[in-house]
Amino acid sequence: MHEDATQTSKTLLGADELVLNMGPQHPSTHGVLRVKLKLDGERVRGTECVIGYLHRGVEKIAEHRTYQQFAPYVDRMDYVAAVSNGLGYCETVEKLLSAEAPPRARVIRTILTELQRIASHLLWLGTHALDIGALTPLFYCMREREEILKIFEKYCGARLTTHAFRIGGLQYEAYDLFEKDVERFCKDFERRIQEYVDLLTGNSIWIGRTRNVGVLSAEDCIALGASGPVLRASGVKWDLRKAMPYAAYDQYQFEIPVGTRGDTYDRYIVRMEEMRQSRLICLQAIENIPPGAILARVGKVLKPPPGEIYHSIESPKGILGYYIVSDGTIQPYRVRIRPPSFVNLQALDKMARGHLVSDVVAIIGTIDIVLGEVDR
């Protein structure tokens, strides 16, 4: 990729604009992301993201794999929240087959997905706090995340790229102490969230670093397609789990946290509250997991009728959508993945303008991107 660092323009004072390069190797860009900052002194006049360092051609690969063979690939996109990716894909293919997972599978899927949401937000919190300078929350978050990953490991054998779900339901039955483990985690978690709140929420340095930093109004959010906590922090009370419920979400009571100002602090509060709500969903779900089959009869060979389908879920990062075109064969004709991080990252430019260089790090952290998903 060629360097166009010489393309600058004159700033207000007639001085040359400085182009500062962040990444692709940088401790705070959360993966291989390159951000070119156009600076006027210390103020950011514009940013340009260079992505594609992690592009693996997943959509092209999908055209040469059967539906089941492609399922592990989707875990590798948003590798921090693999279970959500799997949920979106399996549900989309099930819709394509006009099949539905049995109730028991749906509930267990919900529990695992909500645990994954908590794990993803914990990782976000730890790294975001680390970027802003708080060294300790990272380790506390990793400690909690470890518990969740242990549950995943006991369930399906893998911690990170889980491939937990199958098309039609689940492969593995919930292990014997599954409900107990989840319950113990959830009961413990309330106290832990309080630790993070004590460390950060009222801290005047934290507020000073995050209040009014990276403000995105609701209109801009919708115009730029930002979704997930970014959208909710700007004041739009909308969550796909409530608007178009999938899996078993319509059976549970939970709130949608909403912010007011659309700044980094509000996004922090929204994600903290989302963790609490996920915990409540888990607690409600484990009380009553319906008995029955865990896998629908979709057959070993999947040949969906030709046509297309679009289905999206609320992943921890935003709207994760799958658009699958089938031509009647065992391999999909086209799989398009609508990545929330990719679309949210577009908003970086709008959010970072006018701020100082130190704030750019905070803003990248607050969008919560995973480069695997941005680039696929």
Partner 1 sequence: MVDESKASQSSDSLKPDAAGAESGPGTPQTADAPGVPTAKPVAPAKPAATKTPVPVQVPLDNELSRRYRERFGAGILDALEDRKQPYLVIDAAKLAEIGRYSRDEEKFELLEDFTAVDWPRREKRFDLIAILYSFTHNTRLRLKIPLAEGEQAASLVEIWPTANWLEREIFDLFGIVFAGHPNLRRILLPDEWQGHPLRKDYDILQQDTPWVRENLGIESGQ
Partner 2 sequence: MSPATQALLEFLRSWWVELLSGVVIVAIVPLVAGYVVLVERKVMADMQARLGPMRVGPHGLLQPIADALKLLIKEDIIPDNADKLIFWLAPVISMTAALTSMGAIAFGPSFQVARDINVGLLFIIGISSLGLFGIVLGGWASNSHYSIMGAIRSMAQLVSYETAAGLALISGLLLAGTLRIHGIVEAQEQYGVWFIFLAPIAFFIYVVASIAEINRAPFDLPEADSELVAGYMTEYSGFRWSLYFLGEYANMIVVASVATTLFLGGWLRPFASVRWLSWLDVLPALVTQAVGVYCLIRAGKQPVAVQTKFMWAVALACFALAAILAAPLVGPFRWRFLMRGLHGAFWFLLKVGAYIYLFMWLRFTLPRYRFDQLMGLGWYILIPLGIINIFGVGIAMILESEYGWNRWLALVVTTLVTLGAAFFLLHLNEKRKAAASSAIAVAKEAVAGDIYAG
The residues binding partner 2 (CB under 8 A) are 12, 20, 22, 27-28, 36, 40, 43, 45-49, 129-136, 138-140, 143, 199-200, 203, 205-206, 208-209, 212, 349-350, 353-361
Give the x/- contact pattern for partner 1 in 254-293, rule: CB under 8 A. ---------------------------------------x
Choose, by CB under 8 A, the member of 343, 351, 369, 371 that binds partner 1.
343
Could you tell me which stretch among 108-116, 144-152, 178-186, 327-335 binds partner 1 (CB under 8 A)? 327-335
Please, which of residues 163-182 interact with partner 1 by CB under 8 A?
166, 168, 171
**Does 217 contact partner 1 by CB under 8 A?**
no
Smallest gap from residue 93 Cβ to partner 1 (A): 12
Of 135 and 301, which CB lies nearer to partner 2 in the complex structure? Answer: 135
Give the x/- contact pattern for partner 1 in 145-164, rule: CB under 8 A. --------------------
**Does 312 contact partner 1 by CB under 8 A?**
yes
Could you tell me which stretch among 75-83, 123-131, 209-217, 322-330 binds partner 1 (CB under 8 A)? 322-330
Smallest gap from residue 146 Cβ to partner 1 (A): 28
Choose, by CB under 8 A, the member of 308, 353, 356, 357 that binds partner 1.
308
Of 135 and 243, which CB lies nearer to partner 2 in the complex structure? Answer: 135
Please, which of residues 233-252 interact with partner 1 by CB under 8 A?
236, 238, 243-244
CB 79 within 8 A of CB 73: no
**3-class DSSP string for the chain:** CCCCCCCCCECCCCCECEEEEECCCCCCCCCCCEEEEEEECCEEEEEEEECCCCCCCHHHHHCCCCHHHHHHHHHCCCHHHHHHHHHHHHHHHHHHCCCCCCHHHHHHHHHHHHHHHHHHHHHHHHHHHHHHCCCCHHHHHHHHHHHHHHHHHHHHCCCCCCCCEECCEECCCCCCCHHHHHHHHHHHHHHHHHHHHHHHHCCHHHHHHHCCCCCCCHHHHHHHCCCCHHHHHCCCCCCHHHHCCCCCHHHCCCCCCCCCCCCHHHHHHHHHHHHHHHHHHHHHHHHCCCCCCCECCCCCCCCCCCEEEEEEEEECCEEEEEEEEECCCCCEEEEEEECHHHHHHCCHHHHHCCCEHHHHHHHHHHHCCCHHHHHC
**Does 317 contact partner 1 by CB under 8 A?**
no
Q: Could you tell which of partner 1, partner 2, none binds residue 323, using a CB distance below 5 to 8 A set by kind?
A: partner 1
13-42: b (≥16 Cβ within 10 Å) or e: eeeebebeebbbebebbbbbbbbbbbbbee
Q: Could you tell which of partner 2, partner 1, none binds residue 175, using a CB distance below 5 to 8 A set by kind?
A: none
**Does 7 contact partner 1 by CB under 8 A?**
no
Contact partners, residue 6, CB within 8 Å, separation at least 6: none
* Structure tokens that stand for 74 in this block: 């989707």
Smallest gap from residue 137 Cβ to partner 2 (A): 9
Instruction: List residues binding partner 1 (CB under 8 A).
Output: 1-2, 51-52, 55, 57, 59-60, 64-66, 68-69, 71-72, 95-96, 98, 166, 168, 171, 222-225, 236, 238, 243-244, 293-295, 297-301, 303, 305-310, 312, 319, 321, 323, 325, 328-331, 333-334, 336, 338, 342-343, 345-346, 375-376
